Structure 1
Amino acid sequence: MALNCKFYLKYPKKDFSCIFLWINHKPYKPFKYYLIAPHVEKAISIPTKCWDNKNQKPIKPSQQKYKIYTADIELTENIIGKIKSNIKHIITNASLNGIELTNEYLRKELDKRLEIKGKIQEDENPSLISYYQKKIEGMQDGSFVQPKNGKKYEQGTISSHTTCLKCLQEFDRINKRTTYFADIDNIWYDEYVKFLLEEQEIFDDKGKLDYVKEPLGANTIGSKHIKNLKFIMKRALKEGVSNSTEYDKDYFVRPREDSFAIALNENELNKIYETKTLNNKEEVTKDLFLVGAYTCLRYSDFSTIKPNNFKTIIRDGEIIEVIEKATHKTKDRPVIPILWDELKEILQKYNYNLPYINSADLNENIKNIAQRASISKIEEFHRTKGGITELIQEPRYNLISSHTARRSGATNLILRGYTYDEVRKITGHSSNDMLKNYIKIDSEDNAVSMAKNFNKDKKK
């Protein structure tokens, strides 16, 4: 069996380029192998003017300015000769011993025969993450500079790309996937934007909460994350690592709207509280969800409340029960008053030692419980998929998740007349503006609240 060995410049349009061997041998993927200088174990780079593309070999420099690279050019010619010779020996050895000529076998044998140590060959098909990491490393050490002016990247730009890389890593991790450039299409894009728009509790491989990812606004996603993703995809295309041009498609744009979310009003929470004939897991789901709704805590916090988090405060002769707990995200210790009778009854039911349920089970069960509680009003909202904005109609029970509890609690306290300053001391939001973006008061609840306050003022 003969293999047709070809040698190409990686960057034929630049002043300098490394060289790689290319073998197209079916049924395997094309084999790509970079020419490495054994003594330094780095890819050999020569002036592109000193390469004969037709005959696929270096040529002696004719111009004076290239003569200083004579040693590199001669080394390149020498290694090409060694590769061709060794490929013949590898094929003969494989044939005599019944060895399959896989890409892995070819690479291993060439490394051994050329005395190349370690994993220094470039990945033929790098994942989005691995390629992005290398580019950021290049920005940091100055080996990858701005294409237009040759200047190093500013620290702010590097930090922006590092943030985007971390989000991509978490997206892959929670979806148990590895994203390659060929995977990026309108479906992948919609899933990734949805991930960025929503608050995410990120768990490690052992199921322990790692950290909480803030929901990002549409403008931030567009001006930072999508912009940087387009940049890295263009670089990959230009360097021959990818052939994807999806970033030029109409759908690859800044999202037009923020994530749609609901809050349950007090009446809806009471319907859930009154739901009967539940199995044990559903009962725990119901109770823990309501604990979240009556404390304004995140799942990571309300699911880990312990007996020692309950305190009593005596003020002006009045005994006030509170929950004091360090939050996982901010490490603050909000003091949350136990205001609702329903919350007191749930705590007493478990003797202040709440059971545990994982977030996946809670998110699945609470939708079923809410459906049985007739929380079925149809919500209409717009969602952009593949660059096309659609009108979505969805029953409220399908829009409920563990985070709806916290949002509902904060919204209902505002509707009851508590100030934003008071509520954010419980929720931990850094500013009133942040909390206002979080509150979800629908038109009907707003009208009822206004009417009650108006009538209350009339009675004075």
Structure 2
Amino acid sequence: MANAKFILKEPKAKEETLIYMLFRYQYKRFKYSTGEKILPKFWNVDKQRVKETKQFREYPEFNARLNNFETAINTAFRKLLNDGIQPNNTILKKTFEAELSGNILQGNKLTLLEFIKNYIEESKAHKKEGTVKVYTTAYRYLKKYSAYLNKEIDFHSINLEFYNQYVSFLSLEHKLASNTVGKHIKTLKTFMNEATDRGYNTNLAFKKRKFKTLREESDSIYLTLDELEKFEKLDLSASPRLEKVRDLFLIGCYTGLRFSDFTQIKPENIITEKSIIQVRTQKTGERVSIPLHKTVKKILAKYDNHLPKAYTNQVMNRYLKDVASLAGLKETVETTITRGGKVEKTLSKKYDLVSTHTARRSFATNLYLADVPSISIMKITGHKSERSFLQYIRVTQEQNADKLVNHPFFN
């Protein structure tokens, strides 16, 4: 017997998740994205509908739309049987969507740019401000490209020809760095994946291997243990703001946490009896356990386990350069970046390159050079593969040779 049911894409998600319709018929299964999203806490699994609660006042209209889906699929299936047509998923989908279009406004009529605009507005309610900013910037450049072409960019436009021309547009017309271009491509693929999941898009050319996210290895620096010791030994009592920035930065250097995490450490995160810090990271939501380094213990004791409130990331970065200069990080460093298709070389003082993210990179690199197993470091940094982890750390050819010189293979 044919029947329809509704399930959540991610039933245990903490944010809104898609609702799929499953229709089983003649030992086959037809799966369709309704394009509707709901917080799992508002979903009634038994009734396969939204809970009738004041916390979600739109439940009557929401459930009515799901009822339309169920009515349309049942009607489409019955029509095929009545017309003597043997149903399969392709025929059923076409008939179902034709039936559905008579009941509800079809989301497929949205253009790509309209979908992205709506998705950004929707994201403001449950995604981080930084993510929304990335989405908005990507949307703005797509609109610029549409104006540049003097034609609408739609879902069917996103193919390898578009990819090559858009990469050139970003690189040559706007002189964006390779990694920035790569971020725009990655964000576009996020939009396309979301639109595909919701049933707005059927063009999968963006999933091809050549439709790749560009990535250029950065020249980001790290600080050695000797340099970190210079930071620690600085007497900054005459400048409380620099002292606070230095202390928080060192916490990051010896925990490997991101700025958003090491600036939010609370007394309850410190497990004294086990000599570890336990934190649920903001970016990934993972819980990490990190041994307390002696420097971290000293700083925590200094503030009685209540770390001072941090400045913004931008202000921290500005003050960090002052601290790094006082610590004597004045050697000249050459950095390169590909912009507008050309490699640009820049000479900078090392203190000018220090930022809050240098802390996390320093942690990973120093542990790696101390022969701590990569898998153990990755448990803290959150890298999913050793390949991505090794791209993240900063090890020179000479340092790598020093690590290997005592290996049994060379002796």
Q: TM-score, normalised by structure 1?
A: 0.46
Match of 1:355 among 296, 304, 308: 308
Q: Work out the CA distance in 1 between the residues paired with 2:133 and 2:278.
A: 30
Match of 1:309 among 269, 273, 276: 269
Does the aligned pair in 2 maintain the 1:172–1:179 contact within 8 Å? no
Q: Work out the CA distance in 2 between the residues paired with 1:188 and 1:260.
A: 24
Which amino acid letter does the alignment assign opposite residue 280 of structure 1? P
After TM superposition, the structure 1 = structure 2 runs for residues 432-451 of structure 1, keeping only pairs within 5 Å, are 432-451=386-405
Which amino acid letter does the alignment assign opposite residue 142 of structure 1? N
SS in 2 for 1:142: helix
Counterpart position of 2:46: none
Larger Rg: 1
- The count of aligned residue pairs is 253
Does the aligned pair in 2 maintain the 1:255–1:384 contact within 8 Å? no
Does the aligned pair in 2 maintain the 1:380–1:391 contact within 8 Å? yes
Q: Once the 2 structures are TM-superposed, how far is the Cα of residue 265 of structure 1 from its aligned partner?
A: 1.4
Q: Work out the CA distance in 2 between the residues paired with 1:268 and 1:312.
A: 28
Counterpart position of 2:109: 143
Counterpart position of 2:254: 294
Unaligned runs of 5+ in 2: 1-105, 124-129, 149-168, 193-211
Unaligned runs of 5+ in 1: 1-139, 147-157, 198-217, 230-252, 314-319
Counterpart position of 1:338: 292
After TM superposition, the structure 1 = structure 2 runs for residues 151-170 of structure 1, keeping only pairs within 5 Å, are 170=133
SS in 1 for 2:345: strand
SS in 2 for 1:425: helix
Counterpart position of 1:276: 235
| CA separation of 1:223 and 1:281: change in aligned 2, threshold 3 A | closer
Does the aligned pair in 2 maintain the 1:368–1:397 contact within 8 Å? yes
After TM superposition, the structure 1 = structure 2 runs for residues 128-207 of structure 1, keeping only pairs within 5 Å, are 141-143=107-109, 170-171=133-134, 181=144, 189-190=174-175, 196=180
Match of 1:372 among 301, 318, 326: 326
Q: Work out the CA distance in 1 between the residues paired with 2:284 and 2:226.
A: 31
Q: Once the 2 structures are TM-superposed, how far is the Cα of residue 454 of structure 1 from its aligned partner?
A: 5.1
Match of 1:261 among 216, 220, 242: 220
Q: TM-score, normalised by structure 2?
A: 0.52
Q: Once the 2 structures are TM-superposed, how far is the Cα of residue 185 of structure 1 from its aligned partner?
A: 7.6
Residue deviations 1:31-78, cap 9 Å, x none?
Answer: xxxxxxxxxxxxxxxxxxxxxxxxxxxxxxxxxxxxxxxxxxxxxxxx
Q: Work out the CA distance in 2 between the residues paired with 1:414 and 1:438.
A: 11
| CA separation of 1:145 and 1:439: change in aligned 2, threshold 3 A | same
SS in 2 for 1:297: coil
- 1:328 counterpart = 2:282: yes
Q: Once the 2 structures are TM-superposed, how far is the Cα of residue 372 of structure 1 from its aligned partner?
A: 1.7
Which amino acid letter does the alignment assign opposite residue 223 of structure 2? L
Which amino acid letter does the alignment assign opposite residue 306 of structure 1? K
Q: Once the 2 structures are TM-superposed, how far is the Cα of residue 290 of structure 1 from its aligned partner?
A: 0.4
Does the aligned pair in 2 maintain the 1:263–1:441 contact within 8 Å? no
Q: Work out the CA distance in 2 between the residues paired with 1:307 and 1:327.
A: 16
Does the aligned pair in 2 maintain the 1:290–1:405 contact within 8 Å? yes
Of all paired residues, the percent bearing the same amino acid is 31
Q: Work out the CA distance in 2 between the residues paired with 1:428 and 1:352.
A: 25
| CA separation of 1:187 and 1:274: change in aligned 2, threshold 3 A | farther
SS in 2 for 1:334: strand
Which amino acid letter does the alignment assign opposite residue 234 of structure 2? T
| CA separation of 1:398 and 1:225: change in aligned 2, threshold 3 A | farther
Q: Once the 2 structures are TM-superposed, how far is the Cα of residue 381 of structure 1 from its aligned partner?
A: 3.1
After TM superposition, the structure 1 = structure 2 runs for residues 190-269 of structure 1, keeping only pairs within 5 Å, are 190=175, 196=180, 218=182, 225=188, 257-269=216-228
| CA separation of 1:255 and 1:398: change in aligned 2, threshold 3 A | farther
| CA separation of 1:389 and 1:342: change in aligned 2, threshold 3 A | same
Which amino acid letter does the alignment assign opposite residue 380 of structure 2? I
Greater relative contact order (Cα 8 A, min sep 6): structure 1 or 2? 2
Q: Work out the CA distance in 2 between the residues paired with 1:384 and 1:425.
A: 32
Q: Work out the CA distance in 2 between the residues paired with 1:145 and 1:300.
A: 36
After TM superposition, the structure 1 = structure 2 runs for residues 35-74 of structure 1, keeping only pairs within 5 Å, are none
Does the aligned pair in 1 maintain the 2:254–2:296 contact within 8 Å? yes
Q: Once the 2 structures are TM-superposed, how far is the Cα of residue 257 of structure 1 from its aligned partner?
A: 2.4
Does the aligned pair in 1 maintain the 2:177–2:337 contact within 8 Å? no
Q: Work out the CA distance in 2 between the residues paired with 1:345 and 1:415.
A: 24
